């Protein structure tokens, strides 16, 4: 049940310095969000690629988010000048995003190997759907980017259908993705991505841009 999740009434009421201790409150805002970050492999990879950007992983499972927290703490101890820009928060990403993030705050959102919820009755638990996409569009900056990758073809098609149908998202053609250094990291950085590789599974990528509200 969700009654055990603490969440702020407003993004500014959250004590972000708890997650990013070297920052003064309000100095910087989270710009990259890894939704369902699992064991945190993407955060660890992107941390040094984008040292100026704050990144946050959201993870609903206690043990997994505790693991990521310990992992980041250990990395900060080993490399005192690094990994200050990454953190993890245990929450239900399907519920509280506008409590944590301002409108237009995020530059990038990641949905890497999300839980497939195969059964039709469980489709409402899929992390991408019509209603949630409007919430993601709210917290994303114009021109912000949504990255999705999965080994489940049916889920890939589901995500593509919903993103295609949403007026505030536009797919980025594969040709244009070649210049984005993040894209190649989506395949192998995370623990789930590595597992799919070990099992010789296929991977399906879809990347979208948050377009402007004008005229919608």
The residues that touch ligand SAM, with contacts defined as CB under 6 A, are: 36-38, 58-61, 64, 92-94, 112-115, 127, 190-193
Residues paired with residue 147 on neighbouring β-strands, in sequence order = 110, 207
Asked if 210 and 140 count as a contact pair (C-beta separation under 8 A), the reply is yes
Q: Is 60 annotated as a binding residue?
A: yes
Cα separation, 171 vs 117, whole angstroms: 24
Asked if 88 and 43 count as a contact pair (C-beta separation under 8 A), the reply is yes
Cα separation, 87 vs 79, whole angstroms: 15
Q: Identify which of residues 22 and 49 has a Cβ nearer to ligand SAM in the complex.
A: 49
Shortest spacing between CB 48 and ligand SAM, in angstroms: 19
Q: Is 36 annotated as a binding residue?
A: yes
115 flagged as catalytic: yes
Q: Identify which of residues 58 and 128 has a Cβ nearer to ligand SAM in the complex.
A: 58
Q: What is the DSSP letter of 56?
A: E
Cα separation, 84 vs 86, whole angstroms: 6
Shortest spacing between CB 57 and ligand SAM, in angstroms: 8
CB-CB neighbours of 210 under 10 Å: 26
Shortest spacing between CB 160 and ligand SAM, in angstroms: 18
Q: Is 161 annotated as a binding residue?
A: no
Q: Identify which of residues 11 and 38 has a Cβ nearer to ligand SAM in the complex.
A: 38
Selected catalytic residue, list 34, 115, 164, 213: 115
Question: How far is residue 36 CA from its own chain's centroid?
Answer: 7
Q: Is 93 annotated as a binding residue?
A: yes
Q: Which residues are catalytic?
A: 115
List residues forming the annotated binding site for S-adenosyl-L-methionine.
36, 59-60, 92-93, 112, 190-192
């Amino acid at each position: 049940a969700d009654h055990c999740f603490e969440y702020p009434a407003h993004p500014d009421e959250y004590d972000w310095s708890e997650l990013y201790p070297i920052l003064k409150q309000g100095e910087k805002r989270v710009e990259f969000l890894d939704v369902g970050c699992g064991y945190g492999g993407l955060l660890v990879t992107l941390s040094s690629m984008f040292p100026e950007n704050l990144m946050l992983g959201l993870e609903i499972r206690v043990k997994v988010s505790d693991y990521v927290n310990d992992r980041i703490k250990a990395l900060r101890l080993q490399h005192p000048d690094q990994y200050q820009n990454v953190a993890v928060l245990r929450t239900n990403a399907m519920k509280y995003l506008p409590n944590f993030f301002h409108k237009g705050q995020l530059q990038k959102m990641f949905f890497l190997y999300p839980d497939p919820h195969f059964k039709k009755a469980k489709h409402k638990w899929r992390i991408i759907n019509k209603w949630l996409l409007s919430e993601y569009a709210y917290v994303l900056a114009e021109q912000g980017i949504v990255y999705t990758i999965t080994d489940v073809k049916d889920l890939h098609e589901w995500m593509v259908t919903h993103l295609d149908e949403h007026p505030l998202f536009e797919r980025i053609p594969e040709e244009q993705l070649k210049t984005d250094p993040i894209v190649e990291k989506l395949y192998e950085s995370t623990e789930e991505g590595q597992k799919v590789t070990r099992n010789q599974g296929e991977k399906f990528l879809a990347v979208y841009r948050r377009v402007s509200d004008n005229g919608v």
